[in-house]
Amino acid sequence: MRAEISIVIPTLNAEATLPGVIETLMEGLHAGIIRELVVSDGGSDDATLQVADAAGAVIVSGPASRGGQLRRGCAAAQGQWLLVLHADTHLERGWAEEVKAHLAQAHVAAYFKLRFRARGLMPALVAGWANLRAWAFGLPYGDQGLLIRATDYARAGGFADQPLMEDVALMRALRRAKVDLTALPVEAVTSAERYQRAGWLRRGGRNLWTLMRYFAGVSPDRLAEGYRR
């Protein structure tokens, strides 16, 4: 029986972070659950593609847009399950056995518990809010990863080709398609760089304000303009 999971990672100038992600994925390769790695690049001008090629990844290229890149990457994937990860997110040790057990026992989509690669009260509070939001409202963000059957992903219409809130759009589509979602007892450990640069409260507040504006009907293109400032 062929391995079931296609890993899909969107990249843009990720040469510094992608090797660490690939290293943590080796556990899944040894467990026999990874069929392929798909790297969907948005026009990197560093060594990202060389890193991906050296790892034996399937490389898909196109315009830089998180939703568009994920849509193209998932379209190229051949596995029965998709595992979507960001290029700065590491799954903690032991993840492969938990995922393998999930594949054997459940058919629902799943996400991971968020933790930042930073110490202190603020990283813990922001991660705690993210995990509460995911559990209470069924809204995990992309940095929490997503494990989903390819058929369920297709039934929900896949990632929208939009520059921001593509993860929220997919979660809402999964709900409409009646695809259940659960948390796995595995941490997705992600970079804290953006929060450290902008400030934890400021960045967290801006994320919440962006989400509220998106729910109010502001277009993702307009939101992205303000988000990058």
What is the CATH classification number for the domain harbouring 58? 3.90.550.10
Does 193 reside within a domain? yes
In angstroms, the CA 9 to CA 48 distance is 12
Does 19 reside within a domain? yes
206 pLDDT above the threshold of 60? yes
Q: What are phi and psi of 149, to 5 degrees?
A: -65, 140
Does 34 reside within a domain? yes
Q: What are phi and psi of 215, to 5 degrees?
A: -65, -25
Does 70 reside within a domain? yes
Does 169 reside within a domain? yes
Q: Which two tokens stand for residue 155?
A: 């039934």
- Structure-token match 């518990």, residue found: 113
Does 60 reside within a domain? yes
229 pLDDT above the threshold of 70? no
83 pLDDT above the threshold of 60? yes
pLDDT tens digits for range 26-55: 999 999 999 999 999 999 999 999 999 999
Does 222 reside within a domain? no
Cβ contacts of residue 204 below 8 Å, gap of 6+? 126, 129, 195
12 pLDDT above the threshold of 60? yes
In angstroms, the CA 199 to CA 79 distance is 39
Give the model's pLDDT for residue 58: 98
In angstroms, the CA 112 to CA 181 distance is 11
Are 223 and 165 spatial neighbours (Cβ–Cβ below 8 Å)?
yes
Provide the domain limits for residue 62: 5-197
**Neighbour count for residue 198 (Cβ, 10 Å):** 14
pLDDT tens digits for range 93-142: 999 999 999 999 878 999 999 999 999 999 999 999 999 999 999 999 99
Q: What domain count does the chain have?
A: 1
